[in-house]
Amino acid sequence: MSRRPALLGIDLGTSSVKAALVDLEGHLLTAVSVGYPVAHPRPGWAETDPALWWAAIRDAVRQASNDVTGAEPVAIGLSGQMHGLVATDAAGAAVRPALLWSDARAVDELAIYRRLPAEVRGRLRNPLSPGMAGPLLGWLARHEPASFAATRWALQPKDWVRARLTGEVRAEPSDASATLLYDIPGDRWDHDVLAALGVDPGVLAPLLPTSGSHAGTLLPEVANDLGLAPDLPVAAGAADTAAAALGSGLVKPGTAALTIGSGVQLVMPVAELIAAGDDNPVTHLYRAATDTGWYAMAAGLNAGLALDWVRTVLGVSWPQLYAAADGELRPSDPMFLPHLSGERTPYLDPDMRGGWVGLASHHDRNALLRAALEGVALAVRDALDSLRDT
């Protein structure tokens, strides 16, 4: 009996990997998720051993293949968590646990960026964030010189996965543009930034032209480990936000998409790249997963995260929290600032904190719950207004 061809997608998330099989018409056949822990060895640090990623990938891919009788993967595509840093030796083995997007250890390295000439900062077109690869590389050079000296490649997480699959070390624009190491107007690595950080440009992987580029074929020994046929073509893949935008059809300038999870993301395709860049932007600008194009993004840290904290400390269920939205509005109602974990767009302040304001003795639990919902909604509006200004 002939087997029907299918496409295998692997998405490397922060706390789990997903493996999905779709047929050639795009119909989902199965999706499997396997989790792994995020380590926090110190406050503000976030790491994962890439060996845990690989073990989860192996389990997820094998389970997905077993779930669908008669389907045969014929190609592999990738997406993954953005930012962070996977430092590897020449053989592709991690020299230390991967540093994740939520890691804040490189706050002091942002001072290097602030000292850059305005023209160089303007080329980056992105707010300064300690969880991006550039500041993290600077931190590694200053604080772990042995790890830095052992580093042959500084990769983004999904690019590490692809290198493991194919043996080919490459980068692609949707993730590269989100590293604070990328000349956005020039669409290339920025050597001036690398020089300021004291980083050899050779540690950055050669750039493939697009997220859809052919990036290599599946190594025989890896195919055996995953239970797949050898020599399957592997696409470059894309950053998770870029992949989600493309997958949801968000490609037309003037449209936008709102995603709310622990944080909030507002994504808007950009018609064309303006030549002059703000040297202190509050919104992000990244390459899209399409062959050409860019997208602007406003990112907040406190949406579901803040609401879950409120729900927990006030001892209510999610339905009870949502029901509070129907309460009567009064001028004397308290306000809630949701910035429990600092904030990105539009404040760019990791030390910002939240709380209720305007409390009085007549306020009850429902008033606090409703204020929390309103506070998160207004934080989304803050992000939207910032995006409209780009």
Residue 224 φ/ψ, nearest 5 degrees: -65, -40
Q: Any bridge partners for residue 87, and if so which?
A: 154
Would you state the structure tokens that stand for residue 189, as one six-digit string?
A: 């690595």
Distance CA 128, CA 193 (A): 13
Would you state the structure tokens that stand for residue 68, as one six-digit string?
A: 């669908």
Distance CA 170, CA 167 (A): 10
- What is the CA 53 to chain-centroid distance, rounded? 16
Quick one: which of 312, 372, 364, 386 has its CA closest to 338?
A: 372
240 has catalytic annotation:
yes
Question: Cβ of 87: how many Cβ atoms within 10 Å?
Answer: 26
Distance CA 12, CA 361 (A): 48
**Which of the residues 11, 190, 240, 382 is marked catalytic?**
240
Cα–Cα separations (whole angstroms), residue 65 to 60, 61, 134, 223, 232:
9, 6, 37, 12, 15
Q: Are strands 71-80 and 238-239 parallel, antiparallel or unpaired?
A: parallel
Residue 100 φ/ψ, nearest 5 degrees: -100, 165
Q: Which amino acids are annotated catalytic?
A: 240
